[in-house]
Structure 1
Amino acid sequence: MKLVYEGKTKDVYEREDGNYLLKFKDDVTGEGGVFDPGANTVGLTLEGAGRAGLELTTLFFEILKERNIPTHYVTSDLEKTTMTVIPADAFGDGLEVICRYRAAGSFLRRYGKYAEEGQELETFVEVTLKDDQRNDPPIGREALSTLGILSGGDYETLRQLTIDISDIIKEELAKKNIELYDVKLEFGRDKEGNIILIDEISGGNMRVYRDEKAIDPIELAKIMTAE
């Protein structure tokens, strides 16, 4: 297989059949040795984080498949910490879509003059550009259209998919008495031009709490995949 992209938390390989293979790593984003799903740099390495991320991703993608939500997921190999996916084209150089249920992280850093930590938000959807040099700046519907990244109609499709998917994740976590504060998702287009969910859905992409205590990615996977 051909290595086509070396990422912070995953490497991407092109398979001979035209699909792609994602290899999950034990690296997680953060700063100063502290885990932060919103950080742009690898902050630390947690043994077992790769498998934990893949286990949780597989769990959620299988649930979304049952709900007929379009994704790039094909299958996973937990022993090899790999996931096979269909090809998809990114919007521009990539967008990240965050669904926020409570004020935390970068939202609080930007809007702390008006928001309190943990304040309830009404399913707030935020789109940011994948741009490490500029700290992933937020971007609105009008700017996305003006810059030719995403049309207004496609923005509404992406926004509704984000809400639907995030609500499903929130419901599943609630079954284990876990509260979702926010989750970061990524989308692309399949070869037919449909907007689909790509990347992963792991503890490394979300903030979750139980009894007001944060749960790290490895512990979250253990809780959610326990019989």
Structure 2
Amino acid sequence: MEIKHGPLIYEGKAKRVYSTSSQDKVLIEYKDDATAFNALKHSVLSGKGLLNCQISAHLFNFLHQNQVPTHFLSLQGETWMLAQRINVIPLEVVIRNVATGSLCKQTPIPEGEPINPPLLDIYYKDDDLGDPLLTDSRLKLLGLITSEQRLEIESLARKVNELMIGFFNKIDLTLIDFKLEMGFNNLGKILVADEISPDTCRLWDNRSNDSNERILDKDRFRKDLGGVIDGYGEILKRIQGGADKAANAVNLSEG
């Protein structure tokens, strides 16, 4: 049954969040807006919202199946999902498996260098401040989370990374790095929130050796490579294909 949305609660760069008749649930609408560099670069790409919504739903379901708590409840259409209402923790957790992007600009680490163990960084989520990287001391100074909550957040993020590396490897994609946001539900439980999509993950195609063609994520927009929707669409096609194979394998084993 489709749930009707109430008033708009919040509008971000890529999504709108609406209240519902249930105080602990919200409807999230994925927009076609594409932004980069803290919204200094902006465009509207038809179909992007649908792709990100569907990809996120598949990945949230996958995490649920592996005992990772997320805010996702169900899809409510091509660009809508129902989710638990949360109090967002204003932090971005970034895990890097391969060096690229800002890490290579800020350090002498070369592009494409594997990072083992993966690097986990925490940033303060504030566009006006440029989403600054937080040291341990600054994180403690802000007092946004307790030491125990930080350990839980980092443990969750590393578990997500381990699961998604395996998930994407099976469909010939390499998870280069990704960003997670988290929040507290009405019971005070920490959940993975926001979205998990090519907007928040760097994904390289293992079937291509070309340094530009292999990019299937938001870097196509950042770097003016074109083919953003084609790249996102290829990710969704492979995810859906992998899900179909898994379902067929289950059916065969049951038969």
Please report the TM-score for the alignment, with normalisation by the length of structure 1.
0.89
- The alpha-carbon deviation at position 180 of structure 1 amounts to 0.8
| Aligned partners of 1:22 and 1:84 also within 8 Å | yes
Are the aligned partners of 1:52 and 1:222 in contact in 2 as well (CA < 8 Å)? no
Percent of aligned pairs with the same amino acid: 28
Equivalent in 177, 186, 197 of residue 182 of structure 1: 177
Q: 2:81 aligns with which of 56, 80, 83?
A: 83
Which of 24, 44, 49 is matched with 2:30 structurally? 24
Q: CA RMSD in A?
A: 1.4
**Correspondence for 1:224 among 216, 239, 254:** 239
Q: Secondary structure at the match of 1:47?
A: coil
Greater Cα radius of gyration, structure 1 or 2: 2
Following TM superposition, the consecutive aligned residue runs of length 4 or more in structure 1 with deviations greater than 3 angstroms are: none
- 5+ residue gaps, structure 1, are 31-38
**TM-score calculated relative to the size of structure 2:** 0.80
Q: Is 1:168 matched with 2:169?
A: no
- Residue matched to 2:220: none
Give the number of aligned pairs: 214
Cα deviation code 1:83-129 (max 9, x no counterpart):
111111122xx111111001111222222xx2101111121111111
Question: Contact between 1:28 and 1:44, CA under 8 Å: does it hold in 2?
Answer: yes
* Deviation of the 1:218 alpha carbon: 3.1
Matches within 5 A, 1:125-164: 125-164=120-159
Match of 2:113 in 1: 119
| 1:214 partner SS | coil
State the one-letter code of the partner of 1:159. Answer: E
Question: Does structure 1 residue 12 correspond to structure 2 residue 24?
Answer: no
- Name the structure where strand makes up a greater proportion of residues: 1
Separation of aligned partners in 1, 2:43 and 2:177: 21
Q: Secondary structure at the match of 2:199?
A: helix
Q: Which string of whole-angstrom CA distances, capped at 9 and with x for unpartnered residues, describes residues 22-58 of structure 1?
A: 100111222xxxxxxxx32153222111111011111
